[in-house]
Chain A
Amino acid sequence: MKEALLTFFCALAAGTLSAWGVGGGTLLLLALTLLLGVDQRQAQTLNLLFFLPAAGAALLFHRRSGALDTAALRRTAVPGVLGALTGAAAAMLLDVDLLRRPFGIFLLYAGGVLLFSRGKGDSGGKNQENFPPKKP
């Protein structure tokens, strides 16, 4: 029961951060493996499942505000799904320990992006001041 509650609060915090664009999905994966001791592969599945309602809910708010660019969505989602199928197939074939180092390097990169970027895309950033764009 205690572990389920801890998992819920981690997912709640990560879901909120995801909706704000602060890397919540990666954070939940780390919280599950490093803090709650969940097996790496199961944590990955949990993280992917978590993202579905979290992103679905956040997306409803963004769509309502007219922020969804469908052309850019097509350009990213179609190759993205093909890439996801490739990546998931590779993950199933490879030993989980083989992926530890590449994942560690990826985390250093992702952490560096958050630490050193100027915050373009922040939910509370300056770029939000002009949203929605003023009509000419």
Chain B
Amino acid sequence: MKGENRQYLAGAAAGVVNGLFGGGGGTVLLPVLTRELEGRRAFAVCVAAMLPMCAVSAAAGLWSAPPALWQAAPCLAGGLLGGVLGGLTFGKVPVGFLRKAAGAFMVYGGVRYLL
């Protein structure tokens, strides 16, 4: 498959996963983008593409399952601060070990959801 077609398909798949599960779209999209784009460029496209996907899915979620303000406020504040911290330190922190730890946590989560 041509690279451009792969990107269309990966974008659609990431959107469906994100809308259905409330997250995880970036995990679908990033590996496809890194086949054609250099690391940081792939990542920037991934984050930018996930923003509108999350916005429409969040709007649907707010309509069907609105969380309490005391839950939403710390998520928004923590997300903003984390995004700034991560953006400032991007490329300066070796993340190999963190990737493995995050992967192990997801596998643990997967097993918990399956059992």
Interface residues of A (CB under 8 A from B): 3-5, 7-30, 34, 38-39, 41-63, 65, 67-69, 72-73, 75-92, 99-117, 119-125, 127-128, 130-131, 133
Q: A18-B79, A38-B67, A88-B20 are in contact. List 14 more A-B contacts (CB 8 A).
A: A9-B78, A16-B82, A16-B85, A18-B83, A20-B95, A53-B83, A54-B80, A76-B10, A84-B54, A85-B19, A89-B19, A99-B20, A123-B43, A131-B40
Q: What is the CA–CA distance of A18 and B54 in the complex, to the nearest angstrom? A: 14
**Set of chain B residues within 8 Å of A111, measured between Cβ atoms:** 102-110
Interface positions of B (Cβ within 8 A of A): 4, 7-27, 29-31, 33-34, 36-58, 60-62, 64-67, 70-96, 98-100, 102-114
Cβ-neighbour of B45 out of A24, A41, A73, A82 (below 8 A): A73
- Whether B47 and A50, one on each chain, are in contact in the complex, defined by CB atoms closer than 8 angstroms, is no
- Contact present for A133 and B15 (CB under 8 Å): no
Given known pairs A45-B22, A121-B42, the reply for A107 and B52 (CB within 8 Å) is: no
Tell me if A's interface is mostly helix, strand, loop or mixed: helix
Report yes or no: A7 in contact with B26, Cβ–Cβ below 8 A: no
Q: Are A58 and B39 in contact (CB under 8 A)?
A: no
Contact present for A84 and B18 (CB under 8 Å): yes
Instruction: Let me know if A38 and B23 touch, CB within 8 A.
Output: no
CA distance A56 to B34 in the complex (A): 21
Most chain B Cβ neighbours within 10 Å, of A39, A84, A103: A84
> Is chain B's binding surface mostly helix, strand, loop or mixed?
helix
**Complex interface: chain A residues within 8 A of B45 (CB):** 68-69, 72-73, 76
Q: Which residues from B are CB-within-8-Å of A12?
A: 78-79, 81-82, 85
Q: Are B103 and A112 in contact (CB under 8 A)?
A: yes
* CB within 8 Å for A68 and B44 given contacts A10-B78, A11-B78, A61-B90: yes
**Are the CB atoms of A87 and B103 closer together than 8 Å?**
no
Can you pick out 10 interface pairs between chain A and chain B where the beta carbons lie within 8 Å of each other?
A10-B78, A41-B22, A52-B79, A57-B83, A61-B87, A80-B11, A83-B11, A84-B56, A86-B19, A108-B110
Which of A3, A7, A52, A131 has its CB near the most chain B CB atoms (within 10 A)?
A52
